[in-house]
Amino acid sequence: MALEDDIAILSQAPLFNLLDRDALRLVAFASESRALRAGDVLFRKGDRSDGGFVVSKGAIALDANDDGSPATFIAKPGTLIGQSSLFTRIVRPATATAREPSSVIRVSPSLMRRVLEEFPNAAAAMQDAMADELARLAKGLERVRQQLIAIDGEEIPAVMPD
């Protein structure tokens, strides 16, 4: 795929859509593209991550159960798989398998670190977006906690951060 095509795909993906054209060009140039056939496994649940992936073509099934049940999520072009893996090595929580001929762009943590160092405005925008996402998650969890209290009829102590 041409550099301009990779830039266009990356600009659709969460977090990457916060980067300006020069930062996207760096990511597109320094990242690694990988082609997959239908049925190829991109990674397995329990593997150590080596970066995040942006789907550039096809469809990647993510299966957290790893038991043959239907996939938990289907990633299409422009989808970011493994957001946390852009920044640190984690254990993969699901198996990712190509459902059809597909291709992905792998972005390593070292490349992300370089982009964030060279483009501090992008780093700040990503930090803000991730903080907003975390705040939404915390609000959702608090709503669930309140619903459990209503069901059980007793107070469940809130967990205080360390």
Q: In the predicted model, is pLDDT for residue 27 greater than 90?
A: yes
pLDDT in tens, 30-75: 999 999 999 999 999 999 999 999 999 999 999 988 666 677 789 9
d(CA 47, CA 31): 20
pTM comes to 0.81
pLDDT in tens, 104-141: 999 999 999 999 999 988 888 888 888 888 888 888 88
d(CA 17, CA 9): 9
Confidence band for 159, pLDDT divided at 50, 70 and 90: low
Give yes or no for a contact between 1 and 35, defined as CB atoms under 8 angstroms apart: no
3-152 topology per CATH: Jelly Rolls (2.60.120)
**In what side-by-side order are the strands of the sheet with 32-36?**
32-36, 102-107, 52-57, 80-81
d(CA 111, CA 132): 24
d(CA 137, CA 131): 10
